[in-house]
Structure 1
Amino acid sequence: MDISIVIPLYNEDESLPELCAWIESVMQREALTYEVILVDDGSTDNSWEVIRAIGAKNPFFKGIKFQRNYGKSAALNEGFKAASGDVVITMDADMQDSPDEVPELRRMILEEGYDMVSGWKKKRYDNTLTKNIPSKLFNAVARSSSGIQLHDFNCGLKAYRNKVVKCIEVYGEMHRYIPILAKWSGFKKIGEKVVEHR
């Protein structure tokens, strides 16, 4: 299989139909074999019902349901275990990540030899005081302590060789440090791509 897209989510019933239709369109346009693994992290809205309805129409969309909210790291970890694609993509379910970025992220893994590529939302539309400043501080500390030159460690949009996600275990708040976990596991070719923040 060419690609697995892992999407952790919590209470995203409104965005899921549009996001999944967009992903399906991109995968068909690129003629890729794929699976989309939607990990419902204990949603209290109708997210699970929406996932089931999408999966009934398209068997390439699969759901994993948590009975309660365990957090993004646990959701990613379960998605990683289930992923069988040669390249694994992670993205958020809130429509801030564009599925149109997926083919280029995949190309960087396969053709440029990266083990992992992290998105960089260079131009953000968040409130500067509440999002941008803490994010810049976190990224500066993470760069300094790890030696990995990424601008946006916490970007949800990332691409990995499958063997990378099978070698790392993500728990607690460790999803913020996945590039560092990958480096510690021996995957040193970590790249970055400027991506759109919607």
Structure 2
Amino acid sequence: MISVVIPVHNEEKNIEPLFREIVAALEPLGEPFEVLFVNDGSTDGTAEVLRRLKERDSRVRVLTMDRNRGEAAALTAGFFHARGEIVASMDGDGQNDPAYLPEMIRRLREGGYAVVSGWRMKRKEPLLTRRLPSWIANRIIGLVTGLRVHDNGCSLKVYRAEVVKRVQIPHGFHRFIPAIFGVKNHEVAEVRILDRPRRFGRTHYGLKRTFEVLRELLTIRFVLGNRVFYEKALLAGGLISGLLAVISLLSSHRPFWAPGAFLGGSFLFFFVWHNLRRFNQAQKEGVFHVRELEI
């Protein structure tokens, strides 16, 4: 079976056209599939559209989050509830074209890959607020994680099911898929896809996401290593830097830059420690609470 996971937040006008495209793309494969819509705290008519869609087609499954928890939690919920041995993900705004799914599924199976990732061409988004920050972020993410994927931000991806059930993804860390799943360079293939403009509704992205990317970039190397050891080491480093800052402030013989340097160092240690601790807590407690709609 093939599972398609789609987080949606206030996408009432995009859902039905997108579902029709998914059906048109997957039915010719002649194998069973399901489409999991994860309603992430929508406040428009999304819930009603999903209910009507499920009434008409048994291949539709609807997971309803207890509140708006963000794309990372919604993806995790869909991944952990998916029944297929192949799991695809895509955005609910219609910018990802489902017509590429058959080719991506074929590449996954024939090449023995863990993931096949979309690589958006001719993006239909503003240069300064979306495309340029994305280009910079992708290069930095590749350098930091060692996984050279051209378009980490593209939600159109196809995975082997066991890959996506390895990690609970906290808010913000979905930008590091598939590195966060422990995938290596030889396990990833990319398929060039044409980007489409959003058909209805308003984008949920903006420059404020840049801060989140930077925050997670400071933490991701520790996430990919021994997380528990690094959490303790970062806490110890922060405490030592803070202690040195206090000693420097009390000392009459100190370089003028020392207090600021120690305070800045302790802030950085604690900032990264807090983010890594958030990731570790997510693995213990989970990041989603959902109920499945039954008709």
Partner residue, 1:192: 190
Asked if the contact 1:164–1:187 (Cα under 8 Å) also holds between the matched residues in 2, the reply is no
Note the C-alpha offset of 1:167: 1.2
Residue in 2 that maps onto 1:69? 68
Give the SS at the match of 1:167: coil
- What is the Cα deviation at residue 187 of structure 1? 8.5
Matches within 5 A, 1:48-197: 48-183=47-182, 189-197=187-195
Specify the alignment match of 1:38 in structure 2. Answer: 37
**1:22 partner SS:** helix
* Matched AA of 2:16: P
Residue 6 (structure 1) aligned with residue 8 (structure 2): no
Q: What SS class does the counterpart of residue 121 from structure 1 fall into?
A: strand
Deviations 1:9-29 (A, max 9, x none): 100000111111111122222
**Take 1:25 and 1:118, find their aligned partners in 2: how far apart are those partners?**
21
Amino acid across the alignment from 2:146: G
Residues 188-197 or 131-140, more deviating: 188-197
**Partner secondary structure for residue 130 of structure 2:** helix
The 2-side partners of 1:160 and 1:16 are apart by 22
Separation in 1, partners of 2:65, 2:54: 17
User: What is the CA-CA distance between 1:183 and the residue it aligns to?
Assistant: 2.4
Q: What code does the residue aligned with 2:108 have?
A: I
1: CA distance between counterparts of 2:20 and 2:110? 27
Residue type at the aligned position of 2:147: I
Structure 2: 5+ residue stretches without partners: 197-295
Contact 2:148–2:185 (8 Å) recurs in 1 = no
One-letter code aligned to 2:10: N
In the alignment, which residue of structure 1 is the partner of 2:266? none
* Contact 2:147/2:185, CA 8 A, preserved across alignment: no
Q: 1:187 to 1:63 in 2, by over 3 A?
A: farther
Structure showing greater Rg? 2
3-state DSSP class of the match of 1:195? strand
Query: Which stretches in structure 1 are left out of the alignment for 5+ residues?
Result: none
- C-alpha spacing 1:84/1:75, structure 2 compared with 1 (3 Å): same
Q: What do residues 27-73 of structure 1 show as CA deviations (whole Å, max 9, x unaligned)?
A: 22221210000000000001111111111111110000113210000
Aligned length: 196
Distance 1:14 1:77, change over 3 A: same
Match for residue 17 of structure 1?
A: 16
Q: Which has the higher helix share?
A: 2
What RMSD over aligned residues (CA atoms) do the two structures have, in Å? 1.3
Which stretch shows the higher mean deviation, 18-27 or 56-65? 18-27
Whole-angstrom CA distance in 2 between matches of 1:139 and 1:15: 27
| TM-score of the superposed pair, with normalisation by structure 1 | 0.95
